[in-house]
Amino acid sequence: MFEKVLVPTDFSKYAQKVVECIGELPGLKEIVLLHVVDATHPSKRGWTRGPEVEDAKIDLGDIKERLEKLGFKVTTRLEVITEADVSRTIQRVADEEKVSLVVMGARGQGRISGVLLGSASTGVVRFSDKDTLIMRYKMLEGLEGATYEKFCPMMFSKVLCTTDFSEASESAIATIKDLKDVIGEVILEYVVSKGETQEEIEAYVAEAREQLEKIKADLVSSGLKVRTHVDVGSPREQIKSLAIREDASLIVMSSHGKTWLKQLMVGSTTFDVVRTAERPVLIVRSK
């Protein structure tokens, strides 16, 4: 499923946690480690980036050695950019390396308190055409500063998969079927966000339940354990709320829904969930 993945890193503690979770991905054989040196602005020493580049080579080598001991084939890429931006460089490397998945942390070295998705991750989420896994960690404030509790153990134990019954959202359902051998349980969710009267809302809920049962039957026939859930309200808020109530280990969403615009690589609901959810989110790009 995810034989070759790209893992961009800025060597922050948060990025190190992402590396620790790589082994959880089913079918993984090859990892491309990427570090981007942003030389579009002067450093404290002026425009020279030599020491930073040399340090990055050492750090990439250390991570490569650690992952190779786990049995993975590892390639390192070090890109120094003088134009464009980090996220576009990540997308370019993902295309050049022909990876099936990009795995990134929600935060990086430049994390500002209150910002839930770093600029590089935001750019990849918004504009990449590769499936993207955004890892997220609980940040615990201890006596010696912030520590991170990772979600990656048993990442696929309880998967929340959202759908709006669109053709685009079928990509997420197809991915769930491909992952059937590692998923413990699936929660299928549809959020009713329209209806002017109680009667209309109830009719939409009944219709959604019927359609969810059809999808459930198909997934169950593949050997998956599935439950369905219909909520009413804001899709973004209801998805995040259900993930917390069910203690989902992963949220799987299609990049687009019924109202997606062709010039955007990710829809507003998906982007809002990725930006603020407290769980890892796998974005399945609409084919």
Q: Which residues of the chain have pLDDT under 50?
A: 46, 108-115, 139-143, 260-264
pLDDT tens digits, 42-71: 655 545 567 888 899 999 999 999 999 999
pLDDT tens digits, 248-261: 999 999 986 555 44
- Neighbouring-strand partners of residue 191: 231
pTM of the full structure: 0.87
Q: Which residues contact 111 (CB under 8 A, 6 or more apart)?
A: 12, 14, 118
Give CATH for domain 4-150.
3.40.50.620
Q: What is the pLDDT of residue 201?
A: 93
List the end-to-end C-alpha distance of the chain, in Å, as a whole number. Answer: 16
* Whole-number Cα distances in Å, 100 to 29, 61, 97, 195, 248: 11, 23, 9, 39, 24
Quote the CA–CA distance of 9 and 223 in Å, as a whole number.
Answer: 36
* Whole-number Cα distances in Å, 14 to 24, 47, 85, 135, 199: 17, 27, 21, 9, 48
In the chain, domain spans: 4-150, 158-284
Q: What is the pLDDT of residue 251?
A: 95
158-284 shares the fold of 4-150? yes
Q: From 3.30.565.10, 2.60.40.10, 3.40.50.620, 3.40.50.300, which CATH number describes the 158-284 domain?
A: 3.40.50.620
